[in-house]
Structure 1
C-alpha cells in the first residue's frame, strides 16, 4: 500500500486565498520599514556595549527607559500606524486584487468595443492605478518634522510652512521599474522580429549585454557629480556612506565647488589661499601649493593626500584600501548567507562561493573608487592639459571647474563589469532611482503632490499589470517580491 506524504502547509494556509496577497504585502512593508532600523539599532547597541565593557555595572543600574529598549519599542510600533509604508503596500496590492473585478464589470457595461484580452489588461491596469494612487496619497498625508519649517511672514510673525516630497524615493523607484518593464518588452519584441528575419546583429547582442552596466555607469556618475556639487539633493545617509567610501579631505571637495562657482580663481588672489593652505600645513607640503594665485593648478599630489606624486600609484593604493574596506562588509554578509542556505555536505563549496562573491563585490567597489580618482587625475595632469588650449589659468579653471570631476564620473561606473553578471541588473535598478532623484528638488509645495501621485500610480500600474501578464517582464528584486506576494 502506498503511503501518501502529507502536504506541507504554509504559514498563511489559514488565511482566505483572496486575502493572502494583501497580508503578504503588509508583512513585506513592515519588514522593509523595521528591518534596517532594527539592524542599525542592534549594531549601535553592540558598539555601545563594547565601549562600556570596562565599566562596572550592576543589575540595579538598568533603567526601564533604557535607550535600546526604547528604540526597539519605537521601531516595532511605528510601522503599525495607519499612514505607514506597510499599510500603503497592503492598499496597493489589496486594492489591485479587489478592484479588478468591479473595474472589469464597469468596462463590460460602459467600455469601448475592445477584445476580451484588451479589456482584461485595461481593467487590471486601472485597478492597479486606483490602488497605487490611494496608497501614495495615504503616505503623503503624513506630516513629518523634516518637511516642516518655521518661516517669518511679511509681518515678521513666524508661521509653519509644510513641504511635500517625503515619498519621492518611492515614486522614482516605481518610475525606473516601469521604464525597465516598457523598454525591456519593446526590446524583447524587436529581438524576436530580428531573429526571425535573421537580422539580429552582433552590435545588438552587445547592446543587450551592456544595457545594465550602461545604466549603472550613467546613474552612478550622476550621483557622484551630485555628491560633489549638489549634496543636498542626496539623502543624508547616502551622503554619509559615499563620504566614508571615498575617504577624501573635505577641503578638496570645497575647493572643487569654489572652482566651479567662480569663488576660487586660478591666477588671481580671491582670498581662497587659506582653504588648501591649511591642508598644506597638515601634510607638510609647500604653502605655495595651496595658493591659486601662484599654483597653476594645485598639484595632483594634494588629491592623493599623502600617497606621493604618482597618479597610477595613488589609484592602485585606492584600489587596495577600498578592497579591504569593502571586504569588511561583504565577507560577513556572504558567510552569513552561505551558512543560512548551504548544507553541511557542501560546506567547502559554499565557503568558496562566499569568498569568491565577497572578493568580486569588493573588487567592484574598490575599482569604482580607484577609477573615479584616476579619472580626476587623467583630466588634471595626464590628458586635460594636452587636449585643452588657451591661457594656463583659464585651462586649469575649466579642468578643476568640472572637467576633472566629469572624467571621474564617466569612468567609475564601468567597474560594474567586475561584478557577477547576474547581479548587475539588481545593482543598476537599485542605483537608477537615486540618480533620477538628483534631477529634482528633495522638497516641493504640497499643491503639486497630485503630479507625483499621478506619476507613481501610472508607473506602479504598469509594473503590476505587466507582472500579471508575464512574470519574467519584471526583473530583479521587484520581480521576486511580486512573485512571493502573488504566489498561489
Structure 2
C-alpha cells in the first residue's frame, strides 16, 4: 500500500479528477456496516464472523456428504429412501443454521467478548479518571482497555461454559436410606473450553515475548551490538516452536492418544497411514508388556501382521527376533530405510495435494489469471511438500534410531534394543519431523507454530477436571485475551499472523 500511495501522490494532474471521482464513489458506496452505530459495529462484526466460522465448516461437510448419500439411494432405486434422504438433508441443514443462533454458542461468545471489551472501555476510563489523577492519559487508556477486555473475556467464557456437554457430565448412582431407593447424581466437569483458553494463552505469550525481543533488538541495534546469532534466533524461533510442539503432539499420538481430541487423532492417523498393530507393539515395548528375548505371549500381535505382509512369522516374535526387523516398520516397501522414507514422502505428497490444490485453486478464483493459477500451484505444492517431508522425517527418524545410528550408540543387546524401541526411536522421529516447516514461507511458519502450540500445551493437561477449579481457567483466558486485545488496539502488527489482521478489522470503529 505504501508504494501505491507514493505513486499516486506523484501522479500527473491529469489523473487528479478521475482519482477524486473514484474516491467520492467509494465514500458514497461506503462499507456494509456504515448504518450501524459505531459503538455497535465491532459487536455485529464479531457475531457474524463467529456465526460464519461455526456454521460454514459444518454446512460444507454436509454438502460434500450429501451427493454420495443421494447417489447411493438412487442406485438402490428406492424412491422413498431418496425422499427421506432429501428430507434428512434439509433437516440437517436447518439444525446447523439454527444451532449457530444458540445464545450459549460460539457466535454469541464472540459478540459478548468483542462488544463487551469495546463498550466497557469508556465507563472504565471514566472510573479510572475519578480514582487516580497521577496516571498519564496513555496509561489510563491502556488500563481501561485491559480491564474492559478482561471483564468481557471473563463473562463471555462463562457464558460458553454454562452450556452442558455430554462429554463433561456424568451420572452416578447414589443409594439413599430413606426411602431405600437408588437415585442418580449428575456431576459436571470443566475443561470444555480448554482449547480456547490455551489458544489465548499461547497468543498472549507470543505477544509478550515478541515485544520484549523487539525492544532488545532496538536497543542493541542502536549501539551496534546486534549479532548474527541473535538474528538467527529471530529466524528460527517459529520453526523451533513448531518443531517442539508438533513433536510433543506426535509423542502423545503414539503413547497417550486419549489426550488428543478425537478429530485430531483421526486426522493424524489418516496422514500417517500406519498399521495400528505396529503402534500397539511400540506402546507395549514402552510399558514392558513386550520384552525382547522373553516369551511374554506377545508374538501373535506382530505375527498376524507378518502373515498379512507375507513375512516370516518369526519376525514378529520378540523372543526370537531382537529386535523385529526395520522392514516391519516399512510396511511392505522393502528393507531400505531410505527408500521407505522417499516412498512415504511421495505418498503423503499426493495425499496432501488432493486437499491443498482444490483449496488453492478456489482461492485463486477471486482473481482468475495465469499468475493466480501459478501461485495456487506453488502454494499447494509447497504445503504438500511440507506435509510429505514431515511424515518422511518422522519415519526416517524411527529408522535412524532403530537401525542406522541408534545401535552404534546405545548398543545391540536385548536391553539396548528394548530401550530403543521403548521410546528412543519414537522420540527421534518426533524431534526431526517438525523441521519440515522450513519448506514453508516465513509467514506460514508463524501461523502454523501458533496453531500447533496450544494443542501441544493441551497434551500436558487433563482434558477434564473438577468444576470447582474452572475459575482458574477463566482467569487465564481473561488475562490472556486482555493482553492480546490491548496490543491489537495499541500495535496491531505485534499480534502476528492472520489473527492480528482479523482482530484489527473486527475491533475498528
The correspondence for 1:24, drawn from 45, 48, 52, is 45
Residue 384 of structure 2 corresponds to: 362
List aligned pairs for 1:3-402, cutoff 5 A.
Answer: 4=21, 5-6=24-25, 7=27, 8-56=29-77, 58=79, 61-63=82-84, 66-111=87-132, 113-153=134-174, 158-340=184-366, 342-343=367-368, 347-389=369-411, 392-402=413-423
1-structure distance, mates of 2:117, 2:270: 42
Superposition RMSD on alpha carbons, in Å? 1.8
The corresponding residue for 1:476 is: 497
Q: Which moved more, 1:364-373 or 1:160-169?
A: 160-169
Q: Larger deviation: 86-95 or 55-64?
A: 55-64
CA-CA distance at 1:152 after TM superposition? 4.0
Output the CA distance in 2 between the equivalents of 1:172 and 1:406: 24
Contact 2:70 2:85 (C-alpha < 8 Å) held by counterparts:
no
- Deviation per CA, 1:367-389, whole angstroms, max 9, x where unpaired? 00000000000001111110014
Rounded to whole Å, the distance in 2 between the matches of 1:385 and 1:112 is 70
Closer, same or farther in 2 for the Cα pair 1:274/1:111, shift >3 Å? Answer: farther
**Secondary structure of the corresponding residue to residue 62 of structure 1:** helix
Cα separation, 1, equivalents of 2:81 and 2:424: 62
Q: Is the 8 A contact 2:153 2:477 kept in 1?
A: yes
| C-alpha distance after superposition, 1:199-223 (max 9, x if no partner) | 1111111111111111111111010
Q: Deviation of residue 118 (structure 1)?
A: 1.4
The count of residues paired between Structure 1 and Structure 2 equals: 483
Deviation at 1:153, TM superposition (A): 4.8
Q: Which runs of 5+ in 2 are unaligned?
A: 1-15, 177-181
Classify 1:411/1:60 alpha carbon distance in 2 versus 1 (closer, same or farther; 3 Å): closer
Tell me if 1:436 matches 2:462: no
Q: Quick check: 2:73–2:81 contact (8 Å CA) kept in 1?
A: no
Which whole-Å deviations, capped at 9, do the CAs of 1:283-342 have from their partners, x for residues lacking one? 1111111111111111110010000011000000000000000000011011110112x1
Match of 2:10 in 1: none
**Cα distance in 2 for residues equivalent to 1:268 and 1:60:** 57
Query: Deviation of residue 114 (structure 1)?
Result: 2.2
Q: Gapped runs of 5+ residues in structure 1?
A: none
CA drift of 1:64 comes to 8.7
Relative to structure 2, which stretch is displaced further, 424-433 or 452-461? Answer: 424-433
| TM-aligned CA deviation for residue 119 of structure 1 | 1.6
The C-alpha deviation readout for 1:164-184, integer Å capped at 9, x for no partner, is: 111011001100000110001
CA displacement 1:37-71 (0-9 Å, x = unmatched): 11111111122234344343559952497221121
**C-alpha separation between the residues in 1 aligned to 2:462 and 2:140?**
38
- Matched-pair contact (CA < 8 Å) for 2:150–2:482: yes
**Normalised TM-score (structure 2):** 0.92
Stretch moving more, 36-45 or 400-409: 36-45
Q: Distance in 2 between matches of 1:434 and 1:470?
A: 27
* Partner-residue secondary structure (3-state), 1:13: coil
Shift in Å, 1:246: 0.2
1:465 aligns with 2:486: yes
How many angstroms does 1:157 deviate by?
A: 5.5
For the pair 1:406 / 2:432, whether they are aligned, the reply is no
User: Aligned partners of 1:279 and 1:445: how far apart in 2?
Assistant: 42
Give the distance between the partners of 1:54 and 1:301, measured in 2 at CA.
43
What is the Cα deviation at residue 158 of structure 1? 4.3
Q: TM-score, normalised by structure 1?
A: 0.96
| In 1: Cα distance, 2:174 partner to 2:233 partner | 55
